[in-house]
Structure 1
Amino acid sequence: MTTTTQKNTLKLYFFITYFVVLWLVSDSLAMTTIFQEGWLPFGFMVITFLLYGLYYLLPAIAITALVGFISKHIKPQSTKPAYIAAIMTASITTLLLYANAKIFSLYGMFFNGFILNLVMTPGGIESLGGSTASDVGYALFALGFLSLQLLILWLAHRYYTKHLRKPLSFKFLPVSAIVTTILVHMGFALDSYSTNQLNMVAESIPFYQTVSARGFFESLGFKTHRETKLKIKGKLQYPLNPLQINKPAKPYNIIWLTSESWRADTLDEKVMPNSWEFAKNAARFTRNYSTGNGTRMGVFGMFTGIPGNYWFPFLETRRGAAIIDVLQQQQYQISLYTSAKFSYPEFDKTIFAQVPSEQMHEGKAKTGWESDRDNVTDLLSFIDKRDPSRPFFTFMFFESPHARYYFPPESVIAKPYRDDINYATISKKKFKDDITPIKNRYINSVHHLDMQYGRIFNYLKEHQLLDNTIVILIGDHGEEFMEHGFWGHNSTFVDEQVRTPLVIYTPGMKPLVSNEMTSHMDVIPTIMPLLGVTNPSSDYATGYNLLAGEKRSHTYISDWDKVAYVDDEVKITQPVNGKSFVLMKASKGNDDALSNDERKAILAKKQPAMLQLVQDLSKFFKKKETKSVRP
């Protein structure tokens, strides 16, 4: 085979693959919705879509060209290295784009730092709860994409040698791509200084690179449209002042039970009869908001009492939660359990950083429900074998309600339910059509969670431990079942993803049912005074003491790179530290959409609240370099 034949075969091969790429990426584009926004957003989307399809292939093209160049000088007549490079790089590219489209379809996000952290951190992949069927599906898809690229190369070679036999010229393509790139990004920059009409479009293009020219337009005398972005930096100072403790004469034991993906509306007498009955003698908060739409920020907020954006400096400095310091100072016997991993999210390097590894126990069973059952057995054994002369603190993270939603046959209360959820083959449409049996699977898993809670409640009653033991029941976050177009969590701040049950039992308390807004950040300010901490809660939290009648008007919810301000009227979401180009988003407090005029009016009205947000997100930094900057 001649070098000319090889070059032209590869040109045709990548030309065909380009259309495969466009097909894969098109799944994330809401064509009809954007068309209704007007010709400018739609035209911008079409041009950018076609342009970025080429960008996605550039690494594969470059690697193939480099391999071809090297092999040409080593073995001039060999065509295999370049063909192999083309097939492998294009297969990987298309497979990643397919996975990216799947992630966006179900979770509303593209591959980002959060997903990279999930892949790279020990325990991250396991946290997805995959199955053998899913693993087989992934392997078959990978084989399928490889086979597709082999077929395309064979067709390209056959078509060129049989029908074309003349050089293919794309000499104008590089210049056209460069010019189009400049025009597209100038258009985005021009729009961003005025209406921000194209931000929604750019958000749907995978890995779109933004360009802002506000400074340039302002220098020409134009009045630009600006929205505040949060830039928060500084050295962590947590707590603000050393904790002052008057050790109680009879310190309370504490049992802290946290469940994965525990929706607020599942705590009822049908799905969770044991927990419902227990809550009748405790304080139950019906309108509780997590500090995150994922496990990381949700658990962090409940143990620290501060917003989730502090996770990153805590991780960087290996700072543990202040409540653990208090427990250790008072010689509590500590034993922690999880049916997931303490390494993912990195709780062993944040909230539990000061806890010795021998006091942290991870479930070893194959499924979440089995690990939950085994861990409860171990937890009760720990209490049995404790030193009765010293108080104890035990924490358990339950995994049963984590997708794929685990439960044994005796926990089935909702039918029909899906036998399995195959991540490799599921699609958004298929998920919508099958949402009832999938949600029934979740309900069965929550019922199993309640059965495990019941074992603990019965033990406490039988051993008369409720007279001196605080019990906390809480979820890390909620779980959406397509109520707003997505499944699971970690994607948006809708109520289904961020509201959880919260039950706090303290000995001798009067039962309470509160319909006021509460937050995970309120747990620590509620518990710390019971441990003898005399500091004002503002020294170590941004929450309120729920048992002292304190009320909140708003709360904050975080994910990997954004924070949401939430009150009765509105939810306002914005990026933190420039990790996302998406500007402020706003919806009604009940997640209904706002018109453009309503959005502008509510953002203007909530400016004081946004200033308070900046203060609270920077409160626990010693050297404040916090400022609102204009992009």
Structure 2
Amino acid sequence: MKNNLSAKRVLWRYFTLSYIAVLFNTLFYLKQIHYNDTVTILFGLSMYLFYSFLYLFLVFIPVLILEILVRKVLKRHDRSLVRKQCLAVIFGITIVLFTLVQILIFTDKQLFQLYHFHINGFVWNLITTPGGIESLGSSDSTLISVVMIFAGFFALQVALFVMARSGVLQRVSFVSLKFRYQILFPIFLIFLFGFQSFTYGICHLQAKSAVLSASNAFPLYIPVTFRSWAKKFGISPKRTVQLKFNENENDLQLHYPLQSMQYTWDAPDYNIVWLVAESWRADMLDHEIMPQTMAFAKKSTWFLNHYSGGNGTRMGLFSMFYGLYGNYWFEFLHHRKGPVLIDRLIDLDYQMELFTSAKFSYPEFDKTLFVDIPSKNLHEYTKGLSGWENDRRHVTAMIDFLEHREKGRPFFTFMFFESPHAQYYFPEESIIKTPFLKDMNYARMDLENDITLIKNRYINSCHHLDSQLGRIIHYLESNQLLEKTIVIITGDHGEEFMEKGHWGHNSAYTEEQIRVPLVLWLPKGQPQLVTKMTSHLDIPATIMPLFGTTNPASDYSLGHNLLEPTGRTYTVVCDWDSLCYVNHDYKAVFPLQSYNFHKQTTTTRTDQEIADKKRFFTSSKNDLALLMTEINKFNQ
């Protein structure tokens, strides 16, 4: 019995020491809470203590079960070699599991610090989809730092285990305490869980945002709500403004287009050159940074107030090719349904060669936008080359395609540039802004101190992007192809450099993350500077009529023709689980799932907080009513 009890004590001492280590690791989350009142302070502390315990205890449960099994099965073999070996395996498993918990917490912290979201469905999609990890663009130094940090956590857990087993700390775990003290520990944990759950439930009923927002600080938070219970007792929850979505994907039936597409067969057979740059924000298109693209923009229709349809690549390109809001992405992916624009080009027997310096599988454009284009016509990045090197290689390949194409047939070619994607890639000759951060090591980066140096890298990468766009423009001009070619140059989304408290994209709907350039060259078109609000959503509605479409744009998109004089009164930008309504004065973010209603925010269009949100809802009620029909228009 002594040996059995000793093994049990070792495990619980080890758990106690590891719990203390986890508390240090999760202290970061506690600092993310805005403590507006006493309730929020107590709620935050109870979450901190309980969830730090929960993260560790969830992996400790199977260890305890194994230890009990070994004790019961081998109870007559206290000193046997088999029993010792079994305990050694259990101890080893415990060390590995506790190390994994520490690593996951650290990884989540880094993710939250950089992008303001926890490990979620989007991150899981990134990890599990081919090309997802590559899209992060991490450097060798980042990988080395990560390996060293992970090794450090393993060494820490081994050291804690040695301490637990050495007997130096005789009364570290609650197993060593007398029974009357042992019982206090689970009671305290139950109290912590009950207090934070009850507090959340009451604040959820009263729509008190301070506590509800505080719950977002900790990963895997389990919300407990009392709405059903409250209704039984006649308690009315405080009303909040929500958009109504169909949250059950099994009930959705995709209906796209709404009517069969009709075409005239005497439309011009325009070529299309579609050029999209990763993370290319609106203010990068200027004389100093991008002189060649700027010169072309002045000859074309240049849209100065243009919004992407997403704050990330997935929703940005989806809105660009379909003209639909990002909430439709998942249904189109499920049905493997391509856009009517690509259908039309295939029907017209266009030559097609598409290039990306990333992968067509992440996001899953090979199952959505380009699902009907043969894989042999989809050319991806070359492993081992940086973003700028892949861009140059693919521009050369695109020009080669244009040079050797079948001259009697129209063509469609597409290029996705990676140069402006973090880590922001460029060669020596593209440096126009110094100093810049030499090594983008995500594990050791200090955003507060390094952000100017990081942005200078981005500016240099945009200058390199200009050189590659210039190569294509020059080829089209020198070979008289512009006379019959539509050219679209834009970005998938923007990029923020802490102007509003974020770095990168996919984390907020700030102007820096969602405003992009749009340059549209149309044969026989006149140069124009357009200042009205426009969106990626408008591109299909503009292009389709040029290819003989007689259907109204409302049959296949939620966009407007960019060439019409009237502008839109609002636009919509989406991410993985929310959408942002943007009009000329305001922005309002609405979660796609009702249980996240407390994440609804309202600001000015330029991202400033507003005191009177009622004014927004009063002035925008007609738009919001229309929006609620649009988000389910193509689902029946």
Map 1:384-533 to 2 at 5 A.
Answer: 384-426=403-445, 430-533=446-549
Measured after TM superposition, the shift of residue 252 of structure 1 is 0.7
TM-score for both structures, normalised by structure 2: 0.93
Cross-structure match for 1:34: 34
Q: In structure 2, which of residues 196, 203, 217 is the aligned counterpart of residue 191 of structure 1?
A: 203
Matched, 1:230 2:230: no
* CA shift in 2, pair 1:48/1:601, >3 Å: farther
Measured after TM superposition, the shift of residue 246 of structure 1 is 1.2
Q: Let me know the Cα RMSD of the aligned residues.
A: 1.8
Distance 1:161 1:469 in 2: 77
Please say if residues 255 and 393 of structure 1, whose CA atoms lie closer than 8 Å, have aligned partners that are also in contact: yes
- Matched letter for residue 390 of structure 2: S
Matched, 1:144 2:152: yes
Please say if residues 43 and 195 of structure 2, whose CA atoms lie closer than 8 Å, have aligned partners that are also in contact: no
Map 1:205-604 to 2 at 5 A.
Answer: 205-227=218-240, 228-232=242-246, 234-365=252-383, 366-426=385-445, 430-578=446-594, 580=596, 582-595=598-611, 598-604=612-618
Measured after TM superposition, the shift of residue 229 of structure 1 is 5.0
Distance 1:82 1:607 in 2: 61
* Cα deviation code 1:175-206 (max 9, x no counterpart): 33234322321221111111323111111122
Measured after TM superposition, the shift of residue 164 of structure 1 is 7.3
Distance 1:87 1:501 in 2: 51
Measured after TM superposition, the shift of residue 582 of structure 1 is 4.0
Higher mean C-alpha deviation, range 215-224 or range 359-368:
215-224
Please say if residues 293 and 497 of structure 1, whose CA atoms lie closer than 8 Å, have aligned partners that are also in contact: yes
SS of 1:2 mapped into structure 2: helix
Distance 1:464 1:605 in 2: 50
Cross-structure match for 1:626: none
Cross-structure match for 1:24: 25
Please say if residues 267 and 547 of structure 2, whose CA atoms lie closer than 8 Å, have aligned partners that are also in contact: no
Cross-structure match for 1:615: 629
* CA shift in 2, pair 1:462/1:3, >3 Å: same
Cross-structure match for 2:143: 135
Higher mean C-alpha deviation, range 202-211 or range 73-82:
73-82
Measured after TM superposition, the shift of residue 46 of structure 1 is 1.1
Please say if residues 107 and 487 of structure 1, whose CA atoms lie closer than 8 Å, have aligned partners that are also in contact: yes
SS of 2:83 mapped into structure 1: coil
Measured after TM superposition, the shift of residue 374 of structure 1 is 0.6
Measured after TM superposition, the shift of residue 605 of structure 1 is 4.2
* Cα deviation code 1:100-139 (max 9, x no counterpart): 0111111000000000000000000000001111111111
TM-score for both structures, normalised by structure 1: 0.94
Please say if residues 67 and 81 of structure 1, whose CA atoms lie closer than 8 Å, have aligned partners that are also in contact: no
For structure 1, list consecutive stretches of 5 or more residues without a partner in the other structure. Answer: 624-631
Distance 2:183 2:229 in 1: 33
Distance 2:347 2:418 in 1: 30
Please say if residues 544 and 550 of structure 1, whose CA atoms lie closer than 8 Å, have aligned partners that are also in contact: no
* CA shift in 2, pair 1:85/1:604, >3 Å: farther
Please say if residues 286 and 513 of structure 1, whose CA atoms lie closer than 8 Å, have aligned partners that are also in contact: yes
Measured after TM superposition, the shift of residue 167 of structure 1 is 4.7
* CA shift in 2, pair 1:496/1:249, >3 Å: closer
Distance 2:357 2:564 in 1: 34
Measured after TM superposition, the shift of residue 580 of structure 1 is 4.1
Measured after TM superposition, the shift of residue 299 of structure 1 is 0.5
Higher mean C-alpha deviation, range 463-472 or range 222-231:
222-231
For structure 2, list consecutive stretches of 5 or more residues without a partner in the other structure. Answer: 75-81
* Cα deviation code 1:240-261 (max 9, x no counterpart): 1111111345311110000100
SS of 1:208 mapped into structure 2: coil
Measured after TM superposition, the shift of residue 165 of structure 1 is 11
Higher mean C-alpha deviation, range 22-31 or range 386-395:
22-31
Measured after TM superposition, the shift of residue 271 of structure 1 is 0.4
Identity rate of aligned residues, in percent?
A: 39
* CA shift in 2, pair 1:18/1:601, >3 Å: farther
* CA shift in 2, pair 1:226/1:211, >3 Å: farther
Matched, 1:59 2:66: no
SS of 2:388 mapped into structure 1: helix
Measured after TM superposition, the shift of residue 163 of structure 1 is 7.2
Distance 1:460 1:182 in 2: 68
Measured after TM superposition, the shift of residue 166 of structure 1 is 10
Cross-structure match for 2:11: 10
Cross-structure match for 2:79: none
SS of 2:310 mapped into structure 1: coil
- Matched letter for residue 153 of structure 2: F
Measured after TM superposition, the shift of residue 577 of structure 1 is 3.7
* CA shift in 2, pair 1:161/1:432, >3 Å: closer
What is the count of residue pairs matched by the alignment? 615
Please say if residues 190 and 213 of structure 1, whose CA atoms lie closer than 8 Å, have aligned partners that are also in contact: yes
Please say if residues 229 and 574 of structure 1, whose CA atoms lie closer than 8 Å, have aligned partners that are also in contact: yes
Measured after TM superposition, the shift of residue 160 of structure 1 is 4.3
* CA shift in 2, pair 1:369/1:164, >3 Å: closer
- Matched letter for residue 229 of structure 2: F
Map 1:59-138 to 2 at 5 A.
Answer: 59-72=58-71, 73=73, 75-78=82-85, 79-138=87-146
Measured after TM superposition, the shift of residue 600 of structure 1 is 4.0
Measured after TM superposition, the shift of residue 485 of structure 1 is 1.6
